[in-house]
Amino acid sequence: MELSLSNLLLVLLAGWLAGWAATRVGYPSVLGELLIGILLGPPLLGLLTGGDALAVLAEVGILLMMLYVGMEVDPRELGRASWPGLLAALGGFVTPFVLAYLTMIAFGASPMGATFVGIAAGVTSLTTKSRILVDLRLLDTRIAHVMMAGALVSDTLSLVLFAAVLGVVEAGALDLVGVGLISLREIAFFAVTLFIGLKVFPYIGRRLTDSGLTSRTFHFTFVLLLAVAFGELAHLAGLHAILGAFLAGLFLRDNVLGRSLSHDLMGAVRDASIGFLAPIFFVTAGFEVSLEVFRADLPLLLSIVLVATVGKIAGTAAFYAFSGNGWREGLTIGGGMNGRGAVEIIVAGIGLEMGLISREVFSILVFMAIFTTATVPFFLKWGTDVLRRRGELVRSTGRRRGVLILGAGPTARVLGKALGPHRPVWLVDTNAARCEAARADGLSVTCGNALQEQLLSDAHASEAELLIALTSNTEVNALVAQHARAVFTVPEIAVVHEGTHTSGHQASLQHLRAEALFGTPVNLAEWDRSIGAGMVEEQAIRVDAASGAREWLARVDPNASMLPLMIRRRGGERMVFHSGQGLQSDDEIVFLQRTEARGHRHDRFDDLLVQAPVIDLPGPVSLEQVFIAAAQELARSLEMSPDEAYRLLWEREKAGSTVLSPGLAVPHVLLEGEGRFLLLVARCRDGVRFPGQEEPVHAIFVLAGSADQRTFHLRALSAITQIVHNPAFALKWANADGTRELRALLLSAERRRF
């Protein structure tokens, strides 16, 4: 058995190009690979050929692909499959299975061959719908959740039935003793794999984690060994190895490997299977297709395609009617579940290999998969358009209701508080001061790097229906949005954009499948300053006629002077304002409007005040306690230990008093490096005594900067003294209610801006 590298190269190249072309037009790559195999292989042009070596690689490819399919199916989702989802799965599997079986019997097929065709007709392609649902922006709808649950149940049911059929095939006939022995062997196989998957896998995963073995290559090899081992167990039980590989993937969840590693390895398995080996199977499967069926077996081909399509759509709708959600929704779900894919072709290929179906029947199943999958985008778009026009397209009321906001600055906090009473809201930010301010506002916030998967998990990303990327760092916004979509499958994403409309930004939104937050570019830093200074007011305006959010905003606010936060709809619904929202007549738009005088300028010191940690110390405190609290805040921002920050504060104080005037002290710390400057503000309600000073100090401004910032240091000192020496400052400072009012007081103070 010799492998022709040139032939392998041509098969891989043809499969890769055809798969890429299929995905570009919204179809799964398997369709392109099948079609190119038919076109360039023996059925038509004969430019590509098969062989024993390619057959071995193809078999390894489908083994790995079923491992990946198993890793994609979360057993917890099967357990949580809703009643409508179960109804759709049963109706969408049983009805086409029965109709296809009866059709094959009517055309003279054997019961076993008819059963294989029935299984193939009942399969639903999960990956086909996933892509189409994303493209049609339907992931957050009830029909999407029902279809995904239905596909999970349908594919699992088809593999279980496939296993039962293989048992009967091995028994050789419907002999009760033989079938009984095979059944016992299969039950033993499922019992052993369940025990290993539920008990042994998690134990091994914990031991590997504890041992510090974090190499991706090591874990990838480990996962492949498990798949082959489970495949061999299935083979020993008289089943096909693909069932063992599927079960191995099913048990390799994040409780075994951890969410991050599990997702990483899933990508590696996907690349090795779908990206390399599986295309060999699907291209060479195209080699086995006979175009003669269009002449000799056209009635059977048309009959199978017809019963598969009608059975899937009508069966789903009929069973789904018992959910009480309407026949139109049932028909739409049935049309969306009509696509077949990889599992159906694999089942058909095994049936051909075992001699249970002829080459002609195999060809019919391949064309059935191609034709039915081609209908899915049209059926789904037509059905959802009808539901949308009739107001029957229901957004999901499932687990995902929350909003995850990346950023905890003033604008993010205002938006979070506006949404908070109506749905769960979580914030995440790296800045400790902003996190503390969010907690003071009563918001749930996670402090840390959102690019770390575990932190996003802690911030409830898996429960979020919407991710709002609201930081000034465009790259971080994009990376976190991508991560939230890929790992946590967050269905809706809105990203802030600072600056003017650009083709680059539009391309980025399209790549992320995201919407423009606020419907237009905004100056986030300016809004943060205005909100932090208390120089905004919340207003509302009613929509007079239905339109898109972006079009309405361009008409109502051409100068971009307002910041639209939320849409209030009759019935109590509250939605974030972004470019993808459709506005209805009588919707109410909640927005912010600046109240400061026109021409009011901001400078670098204002920016420092917006970001500065603010400490409010009640009761009598010592200078040591003040410096400990300040050192802890400084350490978070300066990447040094609290002990080191505490030492620097005391060394400066010992060198000379930092009290500039009665009630005011400005300790300062010299930092290493260049371009570094930080401000920290502290209020001591009962005052604190500095060494050698008679008057207690109530206002402390800590300046930490590098040597090259000397000029700005002097400007900061000037700004502080101008603020504090205002005759009304002392009273306002003493009466300010909490850190938010302290910050607002400093930002709104009259002084010369640089």
Give the Cα-Cα-Cα angle 650, 655, 661 (nearest 5 degrees).
Answer: 90
Helix (H) or strand (E) holding 752: none
SS3 per-residue string spanning 554-579: HHHCCCCCEEEEEEECCCCCEEECEC
The pLDDT of residue 168 is 67
The pLDDT of residue 17 is 92
The pLDDT of residue 413 is 92
The answer to whether 72 and 307 have CB atoms below 8 angstroms apart is no
| Residue 224 falls in which region: left (phi positive, over 0), alpha (psi -120 to 50) or beta | alpha
The pLDDT of residue 597 is 43
Residues of the chain with pLDDT under 70: 1, 26, 73-82, 126-140, 166-180, 182-183, 209-210, 212-214, 253-261, 263, 395-400, 499-506, 596-601, 754
The pLDDT of residue 136 is 64
- Going 234 to 235 to 237 to 243, the CA torsion angle's sign is positive
The pLDDT of residue 563 is 92
Does the pTM of the predicted model rise above 0.85? no
| Alpha-carbon gap, residue 64 to 281, rounded angstroms | 11
SS3 per-residue string spanning 114-131: HHHHHHHHHCCCHHHHHH
| Residue 327 falls in which region: left (phi positive, over 0), alpha (psi -120 to 50) or beta | alpha
In 10 A of CB 202, how many CB atoms?
15
Beta strand spans in 550-676 (E): 562-568, 574-576, 582-583, 588-594, 614-617, 659-661, 664-665, 668-671
Q: What is the pLDDT of residues 663-679, one digit of tens each?
A: 899 998 888 888 889 99
Helix (H) or strand (E) holding 11: helix 5-24
| Alpha-carbon gap, residue 365 to 358, rounded angstroms | 11
In 10 A of CB 77, how many CB atoms?
15
The answer to whether 382 and 137 have CB atoms below 8 angstroms apart is no
Q: According to DSSP H, which parts of 441-574 are helical?
A: 453-458, 474-488, 503-512, 524-532, 549-556
Instruction: Encode burial over 224-254: b for 16+ CB neighbours within 10 A, e otherwise.
Output: bebbbebbebbeebbbbbbbbbbbbbbbbbe
Secondary structure (3-state) at 669 = strand
Domains, the chain, in order of start with CATH, read 5-389 (1.20.1530.20), 402-594 (3.40.50.720), 604-748 (3.40.930.10)
The answer to whether 283 and 33 have CB atoms below 8 angstroms apart is yes
| Chain-centroid distance, C-alpha 465 | 9
Q: What is the pLDDT of residues 541-573, one digit of tens each?
A: 888 888 888 888 888 887 778 899 999 887 777
For 116, the token pair is 């294989």
The pLDDT of residue 301 is 92
Tell me the pairing of strands 515-516 and 492-495: parallel
In 10 A of CB 741, how many CB atoms?
16
For 84, the token pair is 């409508």
